[in-house]
Amino acid sequence: MDPRPRMFIIGAHGFVGGHLVLQASGRWNVIGGDLLASSENEIAIDVADPASVASAFARVRPQVVVLLAAMADIDRCEREPRLTESINADGAEFVARGSAQCGARLIYSSSAAVFDGTRHGYRESDAPTPVSVYGRTKAEAEQRVAKLMPGAAIVRPALVVGRGLRPGTNALLDKLETKFSAGRTVVAPTYELRNPIDVYTLCEFLLELAARPELQGIFHIGATESISRFDLVTLYAERLGYSRDLVVPQTAPIPGRAPRGLDHFLLCERSRTVWSRPVPSLEETIERSLYVTA
């Protein structure tokens, strides 16, 4: 019998989930959850199905739950609002109920997309103003989680950067490398600003929250400065050894795509105050996203 506390990471096959499983595995008895189970340390769970969630919690009996599973493709969310609501909002509620019933601590991964991005700098206490289906369902999930589990920690990143540990995740660097290596161009908005966080640092933060139940409520996490998506992608092209000419500036929204906030700069004073590590600079974030993994 493993004496370590049980951590149930839901969305374990995703970009962030893959890294979190790896980083948590020394200290925690990690059980990964995703739509399909692919090893003995994983179980299948569909967060949108209350029976599936109840059965998974009965089997795992976790002490800590980290909910990462989501419909995270913002354009697909806009096209499929009902499915998005059932995964992102209902799913978060079912997982919060399961966590409450077994007395587990819950860490929920939300998003800066709960804000409209019409001004520079958002605090945790600012009221959500989502402009997309994705943002609305994340804001709805936050409310339901906080109502059912006031002691939960809710983490909002603006943009997570790094490589995925398996193909087909949401990892930005993987998507860029696939296109650049085939000589294909990448179109990136010059007018969308984000303060990104590298996936390694985000997971360190999630693990600290997991271990410290006194940390409750909403936490913003992102680099100390922001950057436009165009400048970020250009920087990655150069750092990965490709021509900056492969990055095409996009100067206006593309019709038919989901609306996106212009400036999602998250102010991180609260996280800086409680965290044992410093919030990284933009330069550190980019460096870690390229080279640091567990």
Ligand X SMILES: NC(=O)c1ccc[n+]([C@@H]2O[C@H](COP(=O)([O-])OP(=O)(O)OC[C@H]3O[C@@H](n4cnc5c(N)ncnc54)[C@H](OP(=O)(O)O)[C@@H]3O)[C@@H](O)[C@H]2O)c1
**Residues of this chain that bind ligand X (CB under 6 A):** 11, 13-17, 34-35, 45-48, 68-72, 87, 91, 109, 111, 157, 159-160, 169-170
CB of 44 to ligand X, least distance (A): 8
Closest to ligand X by CB, 169 vs 234, is 169
CB of 187 to ligand X, least distance (A): 18
Residue nearest to ligand X (CB): 14
Tokens read off for 82: 């009902």
Contact call for residues 279 and 224 (beta carbons, < 8 A): yes
Closest to ligand X by CB, 134 vs 242, is 134
CB of 113 to ligand X, least distance (A): 7
What's the burial of 30, exposed, middle or buried (CB within 10 Å: 0-12/13-18/19+)? Answer: buried
Closest to ligand X by CB, 65 vs 87, is 87
Tokens read off for 126: 């600012």
- How far is residue 72 from each of residues 77, 83, 217, 238, 288, measured CA to CA in Å? 7, 12, 22, 27, 23
CB of 159 to ligand X, least distance (A): 5
Tokens read off for 116: 């409209």
Closest to ligand X by CB, 48 vs 104, is 48
Closest to ligand X by CB, 4 vs 232, is 232
Instruction: Please list, in sequence order, all residues whose beta carbon lies within 8 angstroms of the beta carbon of residue 240, skipping any fewer than 6 positions away.
Output: 173, 176, 177, 180, 290
Closest to ligand X by CB, 87 vs 243, is 87
CB of 110 to ligand X, least distance (A): 7
CB of 249 to ligand X, least distance (A): 21
CB of 250 to ligand X, least distance (A): 18
Closest to ligand X by CB, 92 vs 104, is 92
CB of 162 to ligand X, least distance (A): 9
Closest to ligand X by CB, 135 vs 237, is 135
